[in-house]
Amino acid sequence: MLIATNPYSGEKIDSFPCLSKHEMYARIGEASAAFADWSDRSFEERAEVLRAVARQLRAEKQDLAQLMALEMGKPIREGVPEVEKAAFCAEFYADNAEKFLARDTIASDASLSYVCYQPLGTLLGILPWNAPLWLAFRYLAPALMAGNTCVMKHDPHVPQTAQAIANAFVKAGAPENIMVNLPLETPEVELAIRDPRIMAVSFTGSGGAGRKVAEIAGSEIKPCVLELGGSDPSIILADADLETAADVVTLSRIINAGQSCIAAKRIIVEAEIYDHFVELLLNRLKKLQMGDPLQPSTDIGPIARKDLQLNLHRQVEDTVAAGAKCLLGGELPDTDGFFYPVTLLTEVTPTMCAFREETFGPIMAVIKAEDHEHALQMANDTEYGLGASIWTKNAELALHLAMQLQSGQVAINGIVKTDPRLPSGGIKGSGFGRELGPHGIHEFVNAKQVWIK
Ligand SMILES: NC(=O)c1ccc[n+]([C@@H]2O[C@H](COP(=O)([O-])OP(=O)(O)OC[C@H]3O[C@@H](n4cnc5c(N)ncnc54)[C@H](O)[C@@H]3O)[C@@H](O)[C@H]2O)c1
Ligand SMILES: O=CCCC(=O)O
C-alpha cells in the first residue's frame, strides 16, 4: 500500500494499492509493446504529442500544485511555477530533439561515415517526492522525444501526483502506454530494473538508494543516470554585491522548505565581511513565513515526512553541540505537521555535521574562510559535487574558482538552478550522467557508428 500523508497536518490522506508482480510485468510489457510504433514516428509527430501534454499540464496547473501541496507540502506559489517548468521542458525537447539527435558525419577511411542516435527501448525512471512534477518531466521529455517509451516509478509519498502525471498523457491524447505509471513497493523495484524489457534506468534521489539501483543496473549491464544529493557551497567574497548575494542565497536555501538537491547548503564567507553578511542573512531569514502550503502567503511549508523532520533536528543539535552558534530557529515546533523552523547556524566548521552531511531542510550553515583559496578548499571538502556558486565582482577570479570547483555546475553571481536548456548533474557522491540540455537527451540513445565503403 502507498500511504499519502498530509505533512501540514500529519494526517493520512488515503492509501493506494501497489501493483502486484503480475501487474507490474504486464505494465512493463505494455510500455515495451508501445515502443515499435512510437520510435517509428517522426520527431514532429512525437513533438505534437509532447506539446499536447504540456498544454494539459498548464490547463491543470492549479490542481497539480494543490496535489503537491497536500502530498509533500510544497507551497502553492512554488507548485504552480513547477508545473509550468515541466511544461516548458516538454516543449523545449519537442522543439529541439531533432536538432540534438541529428546525425554526425565524421571523416574517416570510409566514403561516408557517421554516427546516428537511436532510442534504446523502454526506460525505467525512479523519482523522488521533492519536485514530483518537474523531476518527472526532466526524465520523460528527452527520453520520449528520443523515441523511447517510459515507465515511471514515482516516490511512494506522492501517489496521486504520479497518477495525475499519467492521466495528463491520457487526457492529452498521447498514444497509449508511451508513459506508464508503476506504483510499486520499494523491494519490487529491483524486479523492474532486472526485467529484460527495461533497457536503462534513470534514478533521482538519495545516495543510498542510488547506490543500490546502480549495483542492480550494473549487474544487468544496463546504463543508468544517477542524480543524487548535494551539499552545494556558496562562496561569498568580500568584494561581492552583498545585498544581492544575501537575497539570492536566502532564496536558494529556502526553496521548497530547503528540500532541494541544489540548494545553497554551505555558505562560505570571507572573514572580513563575515559578521556583516551573517546580519544580512539573519534579516532576511527571520522575515520568512512558515505555514499552510495552500496559502499564497506561505514562504516555508512543512518538511515532507516526520523522519526527515527529526533527522534535520538531529543535524542541528549535533552541529550546535560541536560548537556552532544557532542565531535563529533550531527548535522542534510543537505541531502535528512536520514543520522545521528556518534555522541559521554560524561559526560552522568542516568537521561539523551541517558541513559534512546534506541538510535537506531550511537550515543555513555559515562558514568563515580566511581568503578565496581557503574558501575553495572548504567548498571542495565534501563527498558531494552537484552545484556551487561564487559571488565576487572579480570576473577573472570567479572564472578561476569556477574551474577549480568540484561540481557539475557553477553559477557566478547568481542562483544555481536547473534549466531545460542546460545540462545538470553531479560528480563524486552526487552521481553521474547528465539530464537536460543537449547532453541529457544523449544519455538514453544508442550512438551508432555507420561506415560505408
Ligand atoms: N540530483 C538531483 O537532481 C536530485 C533531485 C531531487 C532529489 N535529490 C536527492 O534525493 C534525496 C531526497 O529524496 P529521498 O531521500 O526521499 O530519496 P530516496 O532515495 O529515498 O527515494 C527516491 C526514489 O528512490 C526509490 N527508492 C528508495 N530506495 C530504493 C531502493 N533500494 N531501490 C530502488 N528504489 C529505491 C524511492 O521509492 C523513490 O522513488 C536528497 O538526497 C536529494 O538531494 C537529488
Ligand atoms: O532536488 C532537486 C531539484 C532540482 C531542481 O530544482 O531542478
**ipTM score for this prediction:** 0.95
Q: How far apart are CA 204 and CA 229, in angstroms?
A: 9
pTM over 0.90: yes
Return all residues near 58 (Cβ < 8 A) that are at least 6 apart: 83, 84, 87
Measured in Å, residue 229 CA sits from the centre of ligand 2 at 10
Other beta carbons within 10 angstroms of residue 263's beta carbon come to 30
Burial of 243 (0-12, 13-18, 19+ CB in 10 A): exposed
Work out which ligand 1 atom sits closest to the CA atom of 430.
1
**Phi, psi (5° rounding) for residue 164?**
-65, -35
- Domain residue ranges of the chain, discontinuous segments joined by +: 2-228+428-452, 233-412
Work out which ligand 2 atom sits closest to the CA atom of 128.
1
Comparing CA positions, the residue from 173, 92, 176 lying closest to residue 441 is 92
Looking at 1.20.1440.230, 3.30.1310.10, 3.40.605.10, 3.30.200.20, the CATH number of the domain 2-228+428-452 comes to 3.40.605.10
Please work out whether the CB of residue 262 comes within 6 Å of at least one atom of ligand 2. yes
Task: Choose one of 19, 72, 89, 186 to mutate for the ligand 1 pocket test, by most ligand atoms within 8 angstroms of C-beta.
Answer: 186
Work out which ligand 2 atom sits closest to the CA atom of 260.
1
The whole-number pLDDT of residue 248 equals 98
Residues 8 and 292: beta-carbon distance below 8 Å:
yes
Comparing CA positions, the residue from 419, 344, 452 lying closest to residue 88 is 419
Class of domain 233-412: alpha beta
The whole-number pLDDT of residue 380 equals 98
The whole-number pLDDT of residue 286 equals 98
Residues 359 and 318: beta-carbon distance below 8 Å:
no
The closest residue, in CA terms, to atom 6 on ligand 2 is 418
Residues 365 and 378: beta-carbon distance below 8 Å:
no
User: Measuring CA to CA, how many Å separate 266 from each of 154, 389, 397, 405?
Assistant: 29, 10, 20, 14
> Is 383 an annotated catalytic residue?
no
Cell for 114?
Answer: 557517421
The whole-number pLDDT of residue 257 equals 98
Cell numbers 539501483: residue? 213
Give the tens place of pLDDT for each residue, 375-401.
999 999 999 999 999 999 999 999 999
Please work out whether the CB of residue 227 comes within 6 Å of at least one atom of ligand 1. yes
Residues 263 and 398: beta-carbon distance below 8 Å:
no
User: Measuring CA to CA, how many Å separate 300 from each of 345, 371, 442?
Assistant: 18, 33, 36
Give the ligand at the shortest distance from the Cα of 408.
1
The whole-number pLDDT of residue 76 equals 96
Work out which ligand 2 atom sits closest to the CA atom of 138.
7
Question: SS3 for 334?
Answer: coil
Please work out whether the CB of residue 261 comes within 6 Å of at least one atom of ligand 2. yes
- For 278-322, the DSSP string reads HHHHHHHHTTPPB--TTSTT-SB---S-HHHHHHHHHHHHHHHHT
The whole-number pLDDT of residue 448 equals 98
The whole-number pLDDT of residue 90 equals 98
> At 119, which helix (H) or strand (E)?
strand 112-119
Measured in Å, residue 237 CA sits from the centre of ligand 2 at 26
> Is 227 an annotated catalytic residue?
yes
The whole-number pLDDT of residue 405 equals 98
- For 105-135, the DSSP string reads E--SSSSEEEEEEEE-SEEEEE--SSSTTHH
Give the tens place of pLDDT for each residue, 305-320.
999 999 999 999 999 9
Comparing CA positions, the residue from 305, 20, 9, 15 lying closest to residue 159 is 15
Please work out whether the CB of residue 191 comes within 6 Å of at least one atom of ligand 1. no
The whole-number pLDDT of residue 239 equals 98
Residues 103 and 116: beta-carbon distance below 8 Å:
yes
Q: Which of 71, 227, 358, 443 is catalytic?
A: 227
Measured in Å, residue 109 CA sits from the centre of ligand 1 at 47
Measured in Å, residue 137 CA sits from the centre of ligand 1 at 16
Spans of the chain below 50 pLDDT = none
Measured in Å, residue 103 CA sits from the centre of ligand 2 at 31
Give the ligand at the shortest distance from the Cα of 430.
1
Work out which ligand 1 atom sits closest to the CA atom of 431.
1
Q: How far apart are CA 88 and CA 48, in angstroms?
A: 14
Comparing CA positions, the residue from 144, 222, 189 lying closest to residue 28 is 189
Q: Which of 89, 150, 224, 261 is catalytic?
A: 261
Pairing mode, strands 325-328 and 224-227: unpaired
The whole-number pLDDT of residue 271 equals 98
Give the ligand at the shortest distance from the Cα of 230.
1
Measured in Å, residue 167 CA sits from the centre of ligand 2 at 23
